[in-house]
Amino acid sequence: MRGHQDTENGWEVAHLLDGPSLDGVRMAGFRDRAAVGLDMQVLPQPAVIVVIGLGDALLTVEDTAGQRPMRSFIASQSPGPARIRGEGVACVEVSLAPRAVHALLGVSPRELDGSVTALDDLWGRPARRLHERLSDASTWQERLALTDAFLTRRAAGTPPMSPEVAAAWDTIVARRGRIRVADLAASFGWSRKRLWSRFTDQIGLTPKRAAMLVRFDHAARALCAGESAGDVALACGYADQPHLHRDVLALAGCTPGALASRTTSAT
């Protein structure tokens, strides 16, 4: 139920009563009520994740750049091997679908370059001001409403994603990543090269990589739900189980069996 606050595995979770104002945005508030601590692998997914920490607690981000303390961060759709650890965590987490990323990021998604980036480095003073206001707020509904208003202001006046790129992304999602790039380009009367260039600039991934990511997302959810690798490979359109193994290894840095025991960030 939207707006309901409960405790799941020691975590308090809250959602905005009326839902976010912008299309393609999901958000939730999280607090480690039971001091269980956070130790989470960040998995690739077809969304950009923004985490805005509350108070002074810092998270430790471990990725190819080493260990870095961050209060707030933004994780690209395909962040590479990355792990987040922290104690006493309280934060607002925002999930941005490609349409919302295009409007809100402030830079081309390509500039995230498969990374986890400190939010202050990307949004500067407005990000610091938002953190202060969220930390001063006394309720989850106030914090989530402040975040919603901040995002709405950022989106105002930004040019929309091109209809062809938006439709291409929607088609990839609807087909669960099972589509040839040449067929996708032809459906808009575009060359493969033109689709590749426009799509990559506005989505931050090549069409082929986006299709691979969407298919992986479905497979990862099924694996984490306890389905066998063989069944997942068949249901998600992989040529065979070794094909699934290669994609999971490339995107998550582990085997399907290891992935099944790990938790991904989600709102």
Residue 183 located in a structural domain: yes
Same domain, 25 and 91: yes
Which pLDDT tens digit goes with each residue over 42-76?
888 899 999 999 988 889 998 877 889 999 999 88
Other beta carbons within 10 Å of 191: 12
Same domain, 132 and 169: no
Tell which of 108, 132, 155 closes a domain: 155
Residue 266 located in a structural domain: no
Residue 60 located in a structural domain: yes
* CA distances (Å), origin 65, targets 61, 117, 192: 9, 10, 34
Contact criterion met (CB below 8 Å) for 21 and 148: yes
Residue 26: closest CA among 99, 90, 121 = 99
pLDDT at 37 over 50: yes
Partners of 66 in the β-ladder? 63
Q: What is the pLDDT of residue 147?
A: 97
Which pLDDT tens digit goes with each residue over 120-139?
988 999 999 999 999 999 99
If pLDDT is split at 50, 70 and 90, which confidence band does 113 have? low
Which pTM does this prediction carry?
A: 0.86
Domain of residue 231, CATH code: 1.10.10.60
Which pLDDT tens digit goes with each residue over 140-182?
999 999 999 999 999 988 888 889 999 999 999 999 999 999 9
If pLDDT is split at 50, 70 and 90, which confidence band does 83 have? confident
Q: How many domains does the chain contain in total?
A: 2
Using CA atoms, how far apart are residues 80 and 64, in angstroms rounded to an integer? 8
Task: Give me the mean pLDDT over the 20-36 stretch.
Answer: 90
Same domain, 81 and 209: no
Residues 6 or more apart in contact with residue 225 via CB below 8 angstroms: none
Same domain, 125 and 203: no
Average per-residue pLDDT for the chain: 87
Tell which of 155, 171, 195 closes a domain: 155
Tell which of 138, 155, 172 closes a domain: 155
Does 249 or 111 have the greater pLDDT score? 249
Domain enclosing residue 77, as ranges: 6-155
